[in-house]
Each structure stands twice: as structure tokens, then as C-alpha cells.
Chain A
Amino acid sequence: MPLIEIKGASKGFGHPGSRTEVLNNINLSVEEGEFIAIVGYSGSGKSTLINLISGLVKPDSGEALIEGKKITEPGPDRGLVFQNYSLLPWLTVEENIALAVDEVFKEWTPEQRKAHVAKHIAMVKLTPAAHKLPKELSGGMRQRVSVARTLAMNPKVLLMDEPLSALDALTRAQLQDEIADIWLTNKTTVIWITNDPDEAILVADKVIPLLPTVPATLGEPMFVNMERPRDRKAINHNPHFKKMRSELISTLLEAKGRTKMKASVKISLPDILPEDLNTPNSYQMLGRSGPKRRSDKNREEVEVAA
């Protein structure tokens, strides 16, 4: 039995009339110990997909299962690493992790919990910063705390929602390697969402593109058969890596090219019209805008690539 299974799930947001379908007919099956990366464009529904598994979002149709049981609410067995870290700013690194540990391992003694917290701070190499507040840490360090907090809950699956996309390229590369190393030692199941094809191929064993059709759907999985640990310098010349990357990118681009959609866009044109003096202008004293320029009102239907 797969650890995580999504069967024919679809999800949309909004009320009837102004509703947008985000995901359609998602089928995914994750075995225990797998490292899966899902690659897609920004805004194509990646976060919604991972939230189906985390339980923060419920599917409109179809179902999401963990160990054969339906996912109805969030829980500590599915550790979610947020894109923007989501550390509580009034708690130190240690307290942030302890909040999770104390909640999940209520039956442990305080000493056990303390040791568990310390172990995970050490795992992400932040022991010297254990008593600092999040605002005193760099972005990379914050995300390491967030990873440590999630791993400390001993989740069955680690859900990473674009964990590194807020970081600069160098920190990003370093953290990719660090997280891959951590995975090698404890082999937790990982579902990693990203918008970077290179990152996906570099860290994961199986890469699934999220095709940016409207609504989005999952493409065919690709398997990465490369030795671990992967050397990011050598990998650029690896023919398998190059082939996979071009395949992945062309799959995504192709799907995008197929979908055009209409959107109403406000266009700001250069203002060459004279002010419309017939428009009432009585509020100027109160700091409201004065006469309207006709060009302010332009709204046009344009065709854009989704």
C-alpha cells in the first residue's frame, strides 16, 4: 500500500460565477521512503496540491489518503515546511522547535524532549544560534530552523512547499545539499514542491511536472537514476541530467503553449489626454484625486498565455 495516495482529486476556489478551477484529476501515489519533486510554474496550484496532503485544503472531488485513511485535517504525521518559514517571531529557535516537540511527544519526559530539540538543532547546524530570535537570523538559517522543527515531529512524510524559493541562489544551493544529506541519513518520505527544474532533478528520485493547463494536472513522472550524494558541479556535464532537464522544461513549456486564456487587464497607457474638467472635483481639499483623466478608465480584454 502506498504511503500517500491522491485519487482523482480536483479543487477550485471562489463562489459560483467567479470560480476558478485550480487542480483537475490529480492522481499521485507515493511509496514510503521516496523522494518526489513536483515542478510547476508559480501560481499553477502547487501549494494547493501539497495542502491537499497536509490537510489544510480539502478536495472538492476525489480523495487524499495517508496509509489508506482519508485525510480530513492537518496533523503532525505530515510535516509541512512553509515557503515563508512561518516561525513564530516571539519565540527563539529552541522554543519554536520545542513548541512542536512538546505537542507531538507529550508522553516523553522533559529531558527527553529537550535532548530531541537539541539533536535537531544540531542536525541543521544551528546550535550556536539556539537562543536567537528568528529576526536575528538570515533567511537560510530561518528555513533551516523550519526544516528542523518539521523533522523534529518525526513525520511520516515531509512536505516541502517551495522551501527555498525565498532564498538567494548560493544559499539555496547549500541548503539543497544539506537537506539531501539529511534525507540520506533518515530516509523520510519527502514531497518537494519547486518551480526550479534543476533543483527538482538534483534533489529528488522522481520528478513529476505539474502541467500548467487550466485547471492544472500532473504529467508523467520521470525517474532520476543518478548516484547520491550528487555533486552539483559535475552534474552539469552529466548527459542524463541534461537530457532530463530539457525533457522536463519542454514538457512544461509545451503544456503552457497549449493554454491561452482571456483576462481583463488594466493597462496604464502614457497619459496624453487633457484632464476632463467636467468630472466633479469637489473632494480635492480632502486629499482625494482631482479630475479624472480619461485614460485612467481603460480596461481591455487581452489574450494572455496562462
Chain B
Amino acid sequence: MNILIQKYKLDSIFLPLLAILVTCIFWYAIAGKSVVTEKVDDFGDKIKITKREGLSADLPTPAETWTASKPYIVEPFAKRGELDQGILRFTWMSLVLVAQGYLIALIIGTPIGFFLGLSKQFTKAFDPIIQVLRPVSPLAWLPLGMILFSGVKIMDGEGRTTFGASDAAALFTIAICAMWPTVMNTAVGVRAVPVDYLNVAKVLKLSKWKTLWKVLVPATLPYMFTGFRLSLGIAWLVIVAVEMLTGRPGVGGFLWQQYNANSYAHIILCILTIGVIGYVLDRLMSVVEGRFKTA
């Protein structure tokens, strides 16, 4: 048995499965269970009364969660209504928004990181501002975004708003929250470029522009990608908060709407989906990151 486990590396499958099972048992233990009691009412009829009992009476059990979530999972791209769609369809909407905000974060964050890394004066001047803005929660940025972009309204031919203030505010929030890891890592990377490489550039008399593209950027790439990866993680964290507050359709929006509809099983479905997608994004980025590791 032990030999088999070692041979096929089964422990890397068994142990996680075991942990999942334990978690599900714990979940089941604290979840509420439906208890049916029979009672004779005033007219002499027997009626059934269903009551939920348990530590956390409203929390659905794993089985109930599965039953309730099944239509969203087996038809992940179905569209039954604006707020009743397959889970992957919602996820896709969220991902599109994240991608846009993330892109803005990289486009703004990378040059700022380069300036911070290259110029001591720039660092001294802007470091306090950055350190103060960095820990601010997405929930705090969103209202500011709403005010900043209150005039934004792009309509299509039929007069429907395709891109409004809340969309702009959402992008703004994602971008400004996800930007910081890219900024900081790029700055550190630029500072860590070996002096020898810069000396090579000096001896060859490379122009400033060429030094940037031929020496600085390639030497900083590994650091930049670490920053990009952390930024993507944050962008995905922020999307849920943003969707909950703006009511945009997406995983976060769906989650909030299901909470309001007392459909608690779907909240768990959303949480798991958000977690899995976040994990997949992180794995993808770490593969890309690994490719850019130079000596």
C-alpha cells in the first residue's frame, strides 16, 4: 500500500481529498437541517411543519448547496434572465471588467515604478503619498470614483447606457487598488539592476532610450512579473466588492443579489467560484512569471 502511494504520488491526491472531506463534515455539522414534525391542527387535520435546526440554522448543508447550485453549474453559460445566468457567464463578465482595470493598473503602475526606481528625488517626493494611498480599501475608493466620473455616460444607438459612471468608477477602483504591487516591485527591480549591466551600457555609450529597453527593462522583468501577479490577485479581490456596491452583473453582483433573496446556497457557490478562479489566475501568472526568470 505504501509503495503504491509512493509510486503514483497518491498522497498528493489523497491528503487534499481527506482535508476536503473533513471540512465538509465540519460544514455539515454546523449547518442547519430541515426537521419535519407532524401536528394535528385545530380542524383535526394532520399537517407537516418543516423547521430548520442546528448551530447555524440558515446555513445550507453541502448536499443542499449542491442541489440548489446545480442549474448554475451544469449549464454554466445559460442566460435565463438579467440576474439569473450560469455561473461561468457571470464569471466571464467579472473577468472582462477585471482585465480592463488590471490593464489600466499595469499601464499606469509600471512607469511609476520605473520613475521611483530610477530617481531618488522622485522616490523621496512621492513615497509618503504612495504609502498613504496603498493601504486604502477598495470600498473607500469606489464612492470617490463615482464622484470623479459622475459625468461619464456613453450610450449606444438606442439610447441605452453602455458605459456609465458606475462602470468608470469600477475600473478606477480596480486600477488604483491593483496598481501598488506593480509599482513597488518594479521600483525594487529597477534598483536591483546590477551596476555591471549599467556599466556595460555606459562603456558602449548606449543612448538613454536604448539603455532603458536593452538593459533596464529586461533586467527588471522578473520583478515586474512578480508585481503583475500580485496585482492580478488584488484586482480579483476588488471586483467582488465593486460589483456588490454598484450592482453590476457578475459573480459579486450575483452573490449580493442572492443574499438579498435569502438564497444562501448560491452565496457559497459564488465564494467557491471566486476562490477557484483566483487560484487559476494565480497559477497562470506564475507560469508566465517563471518564463521570464533570467539568471
Q: Which residues of A contact B (CB under 8 A)?
A: 54, 56, 73-76, 78-80, 82, 84, 86, 88-90, 99-100, 103-104, 134-135, 153
- Are the C-beta atoms of B205 and A75 separated by less than 8 Å? yes
- With contacts A88-B215, A89-B294, A134-B295 taken as known, whether A82 is within 8 angstroms of B196 at the C-beta atoms is yes
- Are the C-beta atoms of A88 and B200 separated by less than 8 Å? yes
- Are the C-beta atoms of B196 and A90 separated by less than 8 Å? no
Bound Cα distance A100, B206 (Å): 9
- Are the C-beta atoms of B203 and A76 separated by less than 8 Å? yes
Q: Which residues of B contact A103 (CB under 8 A)?
A: 204-206, 210
- Are the C-beta atoms of B295 and A135 separated by less than 8 Å? yes
Instruction: Encode contact with A along B192-221: 1 for CB under 8 Å, 0 otherwise.
Output: 001011011011111000100011001101
Q: Which residues of A contact B218 (CB under 8 A)?
A: 88, 90
- Are the C-beta atoms of B203 and A54 separated by less than 8 Å? yes
Q: Which residues of B contact A104 (CB under 8 A)?
A: 204
Q: Which residues of A contact B221 (CB under 8 A)?
A: 90
- 10 A-B pairs with the lowest CB-CB distances in the bound complex, closest first: A86-B196, A89-B295, A135-B295, A90-B218, A74-B202, A74-B203, A89-B294, A103-B204, A90-B294, A86-B200
Interface centre among B203, B210, B214 (most CB of A within 10 A): B203
Considering only CB atoms, which chain A residue lies closest to B214 in the complex?
A: A99
* Listed A/B pairs (22) with beta-carbon separation below 8 Å: A56-B199, A56-B202, A73-B202, A74-B202, A76-B203, A80-B199, A80-B203, A82-B196, A82-B199, A86-B200, A88-B197, A88-B200, A88-B215, A88-B218, A88-B219, A89-B295, A90-B219, A99-B204, A100-B204, A103-B206, A103-B210, A135-B295
Shortest CB-to-CB span from B153 to chain A, Å, is 46
Q: Which residues of B contact A88 (CB under 8 A)?
A: 197, 200, 214-215, 218-219
Shortest CB-to-CB span from A179 to chain B, Å, is 19
Shortest CB-to-CB span from B192 to chain A, Å, is 14
Q: Which residues of A contact B206 (CB under 8 A)?
A: 103
Shortest CB-to-CB span from B222 to chain A, Å, is 10
Q: Which residues of B contact A134 (CB under 8 A)?
A: 295
Interface centre among B197, B214, B215 (most CB of A within 10 A): B214
Given contacts A88-B218, A103-B206, 14 further A-B contacts (CB under 8 A): A73-B202, A74-B202, A74-B203, A74-B205, A75-B205, A76-B203, A88-B215, A88-B219, A90-B218, A90-B294, A99-B204, A99-B214, A103-B210, A134-B295
Shortest CB-to-CB span from A169 to chain B, Å, is 24
Shortest CB-to-CB span from B199 to chain A, Å, is 6
Bound Cα distance A73, B204 (Å): 11
Shortest CB-to-CB span from B210 to chain A, Å, is 8
Bound Cα distance A82, B4 (Å): 54
Q: Which residues of B contact A74 (CB under 8 A)?
A: 199, 202-203, 205
- Are the C-beta atoms of A84 and B196 separated by less than 8 Å? yes
Task: Scan residues 217-267 of chain B and give those whose CB is less than 8 A from a CB of chain A.
Answer: 218-219, 221
Bound Cα distance A82, B202 (Å): 13
- With contacts A84-B196, A90-B294, A135-B295 taken as known, whether A76 is within 8 angstroms of B205 at the C-beta atoms is yes
Q: Which residues of B contact A79 (CB under 8 A)?
A: 203
